[in-house]
Amino acid sequence: MTGNDDAPQHQVNCELRVDVATQTVQLLRDGKGVKSWQVSTSRFGLGFEPGSFKTPTGRFSIAEKIGAGAPLWAEFKSRQPTGLLAEPGGESDGVLTRILWLEGLDPDNANTRERYIYFHGTNREDLIGTAASHGCVRLRNEDMVELFDLVPEGTPVVIA
């Protein structure tokens, strides 16, 4: 024995489940629902085609967490903070506050990372709860910070 065998395990089994029908994401720990948030998935529907702006379905993992410590409403371009804070509204699909970059684990969604599909904050908080994004899973900015802080890289995600 090394003496560390009885050390507490800090890695809790967690998973995210996006329900497209109800436009929600639920955080599960050890199979039990802990918290849920409203989201927006794609207004173009579900799918895997590059350039389709559709939300992919299936199994994923969080490949990368980007934006720790950025202020609420911080704007990102190409996953880099611009130094600007976005304004609510507008027609753009802003990537704000934090990014959880998804990697597809199924043959159909294997191109997810190359399609730049994320969980991210949005300038269109007024549309949360409806299918309104350009493929990503949008959350209110404060909810995005909370979710970001609760899940590690590698967290499994299911979108169905």
* Phi and psi angles of residue 149, each rounded to the nearest 5 degrees, phi first: -75, -20
- Token pair 């955080």 is found at 27
* CA dist 22 → 72, 74, 77, 80, 139 (Å): 25, 27, 29, 31, 14
pLDDT of residue 2: 41
Residue 123: pLDDT above 80?
yes
Tokens of 88: 């609510």
Q: Indicate the pTM of the whole model.
A: 0.91
Which of residues 1 and 30 earns the better pLDDT score? 30
pLDDT of residue 10: 45
pLDDT of residue 116: 98
pLDDT in tens, 78-87: 999 999 999 9
The whole-angstrom separation of Cα 135 and Cα 61 is 16
Tokens of 108: 């159909």
pLDDT in tens, 52-77: 999 999 999 999 999 999 999 999 99
Residue-averaged pLDDT of the chain: 93
Q: What is the mean pLDDT of residues 24-38?
A: 97
pLDDT of residue 92: 82
b/e 41-76 (16+ beta carbons within 10 angstroms → b): bbbeebebeeebbbbbbbebbbeebbbeebeebbbb
Domain boundaries along the sequence of the chain: 14-159
Tokens of 151: 């899940």
Class of domain 14-159: mainly beta
- The CA angle 91-84-128, to the nearest 5 degrees, is 40
* 12 confidence band (pLDDT: 50, 70, 90): low
